[in-house]
Structure 1
Amino acid sequence: MSDPGSDRFVRTHLKTRQLVLLVELGRHGSILHAAQAANLTQPAASKLLSELEYALGVQLFERLARGIAPTWYGEVMIRRAGAALAEMDAAHQEVMELLSGLSGRVSIGAVMTPSTGLVPKAVTLLRSRHARLNILISVDTSKLLIQRLRAGELDLVVGRILDTESAAELNFEPLTDEPHSLIVRAGHPLLSRSNLGLQDLAGEAWILPPSGSILRDRLTALFLSRGLDQPAETVETIALPVITSLLLGSDMLVALPKQIVQTYLDSGLLAVLPYELGLRMDLYGIVTRKQHRLSPGAQAMLDTLREVATKSPS
């Protein structure tokens, strides 16, 4: 049941132009530039912001010598304003879809492993049924994808929920975890070594995911738990074409689920090092927003993901 006080605030005080202004203030950090992006004059933007802060009874932005910065209250309002505007865009898209049959746009985010298997299979199947759907796929870390999902920029994500704050707003349908292996080029010097130890690997050049990702954190913890320094020679990327090119052209190594590069393993271009990392990631799954009704196209994408996941081996 909705809060009557909140309902009065929305009906009486909140204006669509204020939502647009909040989003632009978050993007630009400047009242002048935000006003220009929102097609407002600077005085009009300042007046709208002041009215909103007065209605809420809190300061949303700190006025700095150069621009402005959101307070905690401001960060909440920026995120919620973006989600509200995305909802209205989705409502328009859904109406257009209902008028013209299943079409429109679906935005899906995925972490690396499902982006190479589950998601492409589901997209191919969905487009065979609804060719007019325009599907946008983003591949990134769970942290960034979940931020975009909460902001309404993505319809659904195949990834992980990593913090309790996000969990309260999201639905999670678990799929599978990801056992990781160490992948190198065929003919890599370490392939001929017996009794490989973690200390041997610490001195090698590594391809690593960005700091803050769950795999990076667990690799860091693994080296530290053995009293070892982190690898000194590293390249940070999650772009699979870059990873495979680096592996094929150098003696670098990377921790990946084997299925991501199975084609290269089958052709003999890449190989698995005989060392058991013992790393398994948390379950990834399908993530959607609670109390948010998906558009017909996004719902079809969700149903197809579930269908493909059920048929695929874990």
Structure 2
Amino acid sequence: MSTTPARLSPARLTTRQFVLLAQLDRDRSVLRAADAVGMSQPAASKLLRELEKTLGVPLFERHARGVEPTPYGEIVMRHAHSVLAEIRRAQEEVEALKRGERLKVAIGSVLSPATDLLPMAISMLEREHPRMQVSVEIDTSRPLVARLLQGRLDLVIGRVLDAEHADVLRVEPLAEEPHHLIARAGHPLTQRRRLRVADLVDHTWVMPAAESILRERVEAMFLQRGLRLPARIVESGSLPLITNLLRRTDMLVALPEEVVRPYCEAGMLAVLPIDLQVRMDSFGLITRRGHPPSRAAVAALRALDEAAQTVYRARPAAATR
């Protein structure tokens, strides 16, 4: 089979192929996927062969337990999810407009902008578009970007961490995210006039998951000074759990100050006097190239741009929506 993709007309791709590909991504079995979408296994196999012939590349490796996508297959399956999501969203928007229902927008965000930028933008949307339904997902950047690429989110406030996504995503930078050392008010370390990183090793830390970039940078803070890593760690990315752990124990955590500012102002938590030099890369507004945003997404992007002028003192967005 040739490994040079042929020039492809969209008319040569069918919705049935996209539906089958999306189901194959879930089942990794032609038999189970065919049954799930209501076709015979021979018909499903024929559709896949036709698609591979059209593209000129192998999409799956067949083995006794089912199929595994090739790198080409991973790309095509990702776009299949996106196409089907766009079709569903188009149908939903048309039906909602026919019924006079509200517009919908789905936003994903990392933690820090969800504490100040998003609430301000949502309050603007509520005033200007009172019938709009806004749904928000809070997570780390990688899963949020994956959902954006699948069409499950309209936009993401986060970071693009994988180089292969650079060509398919548009990023409008917003702000950096320095992290501070946070503990309960009255923590023994709050009595110190001067803190060193070495003073933090023997304390229990709340850390994000081991594969996260923030975890790597917090650990690098110790390792670069020739220190061992803290032995006692609680892993969590849940802000309610983290804040309650801090209030009830002598645990430490690295978080952006604005995330816990209400707790600090209420006298429950405190920012300790040390520069951790732990900073995350700039986050921004992320959308998909080649996918015109819905009316609701356009309104949300404008509200976020306007809110960013206040929250981050950002310059007006150069991109035209």
TM-score (norm 2): 0.89
User: d(CA) in 2 for partners of 1:280 and 1:238?
Assistant: 17
Against the structure 1 CA distance between its residues 18 and 165, is the aligned structure 2 distance closer, same or farther, given a 3 Å change threshold? Answer: same
1:59-100 deviations in whole A, cap 9, x for unaligned? 212223323221111101111111111222233234345545
> Aligned letter for 1:5?
R
Q: Classify the secondary structure of the residue corresponding to 2:263.
A: helix
Q: Which residue of 1 aligns with 2:254?
A: 255
The answer as to 2:288 corresponding to 1:289 is yes
> Aligned letter for 1:260?
V
- Report 1:201-220 matches (<5 A): 201-220=200-219
Q: Classify the secondary structure of the residue corresponding to 1:286.
A: strand
1:215-250 deviations in whole A, cap 9, x for unaligned? 222112222211222222222222211111111122
Q: Which 4+ runs in 1 deviate beyond 6 A? A: none
Q: Which residue of 1 aligns with 2:220?
A: 221
Q: Classify the secondary structure of the residue corresponding to 2:8.
A: helix
Against the structure 1 CA distance between its residues 291 and 54, is the aligned structure 2 distance closer, same or farther, given a 3 Å change threshold? Answer: closer
The answer as to 2:103 corresponding to 1:104 is yes
Kept in 1: contact 2:116–2:311 (CA 8 A): no
- Report 1:1-314 matches (<5 A): 5-7=7-9, 10-12=10-12, 14-96=13-95, 98-99=97-98, 103-314=102-313
Q: Classify the secondary structure of the residue corresponding to 2:280.
A: coil
Deviates more, 1:143-152 or 1:31-40: 31-40
> Aligned letter for 1:88?
I
User: d(CA) in 2 for partners of 1:221 and 1:74?
Assistant: 37
RMSD: 2.1
Q: Classify the secondary structure of the residue corresponding to 1:162.
A: coil
Matched pairs, number: 309
Kept in 2: contact 1:178–1:283 (CA 8 A): yes
Shift of the alpha carbon at 1:101? 5.8
Shift of the alpha carbon at 1:117? 1.3
Deviates more, 1:67-76 or 1:126-135: 126-135
Q: Classify the secondary structure of the residue corresponding to 1:283.
A: strand
Kept in 1: contact 2:182–2:255 (CA 8 A): yes
Kept in 1: contact 2:207–2:215 (CA 8 A): yes
Q: Which residue of 1 aligns with 2:318?
A: none
Against the structure 1 CA distance between its residues 58 and 223, is the aligned structure 2 distance closer, same or farther, given a 3 Å change threshold? Answer: same
Shift of the alpha carbon at 1:54? 2.8
> Aligned letter for 1:304?
A
Kept in 2: contact 1:102–1:130 (CA 8 A): no
Q: Classify the secondary structure of the residue corresponding to 1:138.
A: strand
> Aligned letter for 2:91?
H
Kept in 2: contact 1:112–1:238 (CA 8 A): no
User: d(CA) in 1 for partners of 2:302 and 2:101?
Assistant: 14
Against the structure 1 CA distance between its residues 285 and 101, is the aligned structure 2 distance closer, same or farther, given a 3 Å change threshold? Answer: farther
Shift of the alpha carbon at 1:264? 0.7
Q: Classify the secondary structure of the residue corresponding to 1:243.
A: helix
> Aligned letter for 1:155?
D
Shift of the alpha carbon at 1:285? 1.1
Q: Classify the secondary structure of the residue corresponding to 1:261.
A: helix
Kept in 2: contact 1:178–1:280 (CA 8 A): yes
> Aligned letter for 1:32?
L
Shift of the alpha carbon at 1:121? 1.8
Shift of the alpha carbon at 1:313? 4.4
Q: Classify the secondary structure of the residue corresponding to 1:154.
A: coil
User: d(CA) in 1 for partners of 2:206 and 2:33?
Assistant: 39
> Aligned letter for 1:85?
L
Gaps of 5+ in 1: none
Q: Classify the secondary structure of the residue corresponding to 1:203.
A: coil
Gaps of 5+ in 2: 314-321
> Aligned letter for 1:135?
V
Against the structure 1 CA distance between its residues 102 and 177, is the aligned structure 2 distance closer, same or farther, given a 3 Å change threshold? Answer: farther
Q: Classify the secondary structure of the residue corresponding to 2:122.
A: helix
User: d(CA) in 2 for partners of 1:26 and 1:313?
Assistant: 40
Kept in 2: contact 1:97–1:296 (CA 8 A): no
> Aligned letter for 2:224?
S
Deviates more, 1:235-244 or 1:297-306: 235-244
Deviates more, 1:207-216 or 1:274-283: 207-216
TM-score (norm 1): 0.91
Kept in 2: contact 1:102–1:297 (CA 8 A): no
